[in-house]
Amino acid sequence: MADTRCSISLIVNAVRWQQEAVALAELEDIAKPWSLGGLQDYVRLIVGSQLGATFEQIDFVDQRWCRAKANPSDAEAVAAGFAVTTTPHIAGDDMGAGLALDAAESVALNSPDVVVTVGSQMQWQPLRLKLEFSGLQLFELLLSPAGKVVVSGDRVIDLRFRARKEFQSSPVSALFKPMPIAPENVVAEAAKTVAGDDDSFAANAIVGSVKSLANGYGMITRKDGRGDVQFLSGHVKAPGFEFIELGDTLRFDVVRMPNGKWLAQGVVRM
């Protein structure tokens, strides 16, 4: 077997995936809904073709099925090997314009070569910059409403458009596979695991507590155990720096400045 040359972390917006799979199945030229197993193959093919890796040279190091609440496709996600995670940012009214930042940052911790988001665009620029700085490549596979292609770069691929245009031809036909069926005990265990809110996915950014404050700046201890990070008064959102006290819980993102120093930005008092 060939050596693995590309590792992928895959994040799926469950709401958009489910909605668009149903809508796509209703089109006259496509007879059956796509499956997550097919999506995995499609991602391997499309990313591999762009990076020069074969199907056998690609591994998934993390797969997350992100949703605000339980939905009918959770069992399929479990059967396909996804971690089902409660992500409040992905909700019924989410039109695919955003993605929970904690989910993206968590998969990035596995140090993949590529992060692929499905059904959402990563619009939080500090996180995009962080991924690029670490050497990760970002692919966004959109499920755009009514087949409309949203272009934000040459790595945005509209799955619905591709499927309608190229159904029964490789690689899009990989989307259409029999739906895997998860054993009942596996589904029950998954439901138990994801019941309620998962603290690590409770916000749309990194979480930490205020360790120290001084004139115009402070230090935050990250909840994820990755040390302390400094923040400046100008990076605190309303009501502002003067309302922050020692021990307060903050949510924020971390970016690397041109001088190489890491700073917290978009700081919000919770």
The secondary structure of 213-229 as a DSSP string is: EETTEEEEEETTSS-EE
| Encoded tokens for 202 | 């409770």
What distance in Å separates the CA atoms of residue 270 and residue 135, rounded to the nearest whole number? 31
Residues β-bridged to residue 250: 208, 269
**pLDDT (tens digit, 0 to 9) for every residue of the chain, 270 residues total?**
356 789 999 999 888 888 777 777 777 677 677 889 889 999 998 888 888 888 889 999 989 898 877 887 888 888 888 888 877 666 655 555 566 677 777 787 778 999 998 887 776 777 777 777 778 888 888 876 655 555 555 677 888 778 877 777 777 888 888 777 766 665 565 555 444 333 333 334 678 899 999 888 889 988 877 778 888 887 787 778 888 889 888 888 777 666 667 788 778 887
Q: Which residues fall within 8 angstroms of residue 258, CB to CB, at 6 or more apart?
A: none
What distance in Å separates the CA atoms of residue 243 and residue 241, rounded to the nearest whole number? 5
In this structure, are residues 112 and 137 in contact, taking their beta carbons and an 8 Å threshold? no
Give the 3-state secondary structure of residue 179.
coil
Radius of gyration, CA atoms only, the chain: 20
What distance in Å separates the CA atoms of residue 40 and residue 159, rounded to the nearest whole number? 13
**pLDDT tens digits for range 116-136:** 988 877 767 777 777 777 788
Residue 161, classified by CB atoms within 10 Å of its CB into exposed (0-12), middle (13-18) or buried (19+), is middle
What distance in Å separates the CA atoms of residue 146 and residue 16, rounded to the nearest whole number? 13
pLDDT of residue 89: 67
| Torsion, Cα of 227, 262, 112, 169 (10° steps) | 140
| Global pTM value | 0.66
Site of tokens 């994040």: 11
Distances (CA, A) of 91 to 68, 69, 96, 144, 147: 5, 8, 10, 16, 21
| Encoded tokens for 55 | 């199907």
What is the spatial order of strands in the sheet that 58-67 belongs to?
A: 83-86, 58-67, 6-13, 114-118, 137-142, 156-158
